[in-house]
Amino acid sequence: MRWTVRVFSMQLIIVLLGCAMGFAQEPPPAKVVVAAITQQEVAENRPFIGRLYYDTASQISAEVSGLVEIVAVREGDLVKKDAPLLRLNTELLDREIDIKLAEIEQIDLRIGHAEKQYRRLESLYEKEGISEKAYEDALYAYEDGRREKQVAELELKKLLLDLEKGVVKAPYEGMVMAKNVDSGDWVQPGKPLLRLGSVNDLFVKVPIGEKLLQFVETGSRVVVGIEASGQELQGTVEGIDPVADPKTKNVFVKVRIPAQKNIAENLSARVYLPVGARKRLSIIPRDALVSMGGNDFVYTIKEGKAAILPVNIVSFLGDAVGADNPHFREGMEVVVEGNERLRFEQPVVVSGGR
């Protein structure tokens, strides 16, 4: 028993000595990719929470009355311009068109007969073989038939237009936000059936204090984060609402964003807007940032080893950030790949740059 304990103790000592020697050894060199810091005149910004909305949204209705036969869309569907949204039953209208076409054929027959009679009497009238009244009656019958056909053709065009209007189409590419109709419903002109929002007019409305309005430039590009999906994209400041909130005096900034799928109106969005004048900042790739304990820092290379520098972010610029730390200088290289495995003073080998 004592011999077993002694052997186990010796094994434990050997393991501990091996671990100690392992820790004492310098970690192997890490392969990293670096990128250079630049400096630009950039305004500090901070996030403001706004809401998504469609600046162009339409209540879609039918232009003719009828029984709904097919509803081709559902709420949340993305539709192309001129895509059919719903179709009315046009069976009665089809029969009216058939009747009108047959009526026009009958009128053509009467016109043909009246024209022959008119041409025959015209020849006789020129030879003074018939009275003026007989000639004028034949001319009137011929012209009356022609006018009757014109009226019938106009009525046919209206019926064909009503047939075309039996299919309600999307006026633009958009998202179906509401559906108030189903197959079998009887609809009247002007009754709201669907609500459609234009995906090319998707905006974020952001309230900011009136004192910050001086720093917001129309046409400037800003970073927008969609809270629901975590996606970040570029937006464009289109302007402001002409009426401020009477109580808070907040002004609403309108930011246009690219068309998005699976997006809902009134979702929250985080918009980074300027809060001060432009100043010279160090522009650092976001891939270089490493967070620890709630703080941000980057790895640089000093004498072939990893060195750590803190980052004070004052501006978010999409795939980069702006920092005001004095220890950053233009051209300084920071690690953008391989930094997640680095340790302080670990030897590094630069395998590439951006």
- For position 187, what pLDDT does the model report? 92
Report how far residue 343's alpha carbon sits from residue 341's, in angstroms, rounded to the nearest whole number: 7
| Domains in the chain with CATH codes | 26-44+281-353 (2.40.420.20), 47-54+199-276 (2.40.30.170), 62-88+167-192 (2.40.50.100), 91-165 (1.10.287)
Report how far residue 39's alpha carbon sits from residue 245's, in angstroms, rounded to the nearest whole number: 38
Report how far residue 259's alpha carbon sits from residue 40's, in angstroms, rounded to the nearest whole number: 30
- For position 118, what pLDDT does the model report? 85
pLDDT digits (tens, 9 = 90+) for 122-168: 888 777 778 888 888 888 998 999 999 999 999 999 999 888 999 99
- For position 230, what pLDDT does the model report? 84
- For position 121, what pLDDT does the model report? 86
Q: Which two tokens stand for residue 210?
A: 């009136």
Q: Which two tokens stand for residue 270?
A: 């985080």
Helices 132-165 + 91-126 axis angle, to 10: 160
Q: Which two tokens stand for residue 115?
A: 């024209």
- Could you list the pLDDT tens digit for every one of the 354 residues in the chain? 333 333 333 333 333 334 444 444 566 788 999 999 999 999 999 999 999 999 999 999 999 899 999 999 999 899 999 999 999 998 888 899 999 999 999 999 999 998 898 888 888 877 777 888 888 888 899 899 999 999 999 999 999 988 899 999 999 999 999 999 999 999 999 899 999 999 999 999 999 999 999 999 999 999 999 988 888 999 999 999 999 989 888 999 999 999 887 788 899 999 999 999 999 999 999 999 999 888 999 999 999 999 999 999 999 998 999 999 999 999 999 999 999 889 999 999 998 887
**CA-only gyration radius of the chain, Å:** 39
H helical segments located in the chain: 2-24, 91-126, 132-165
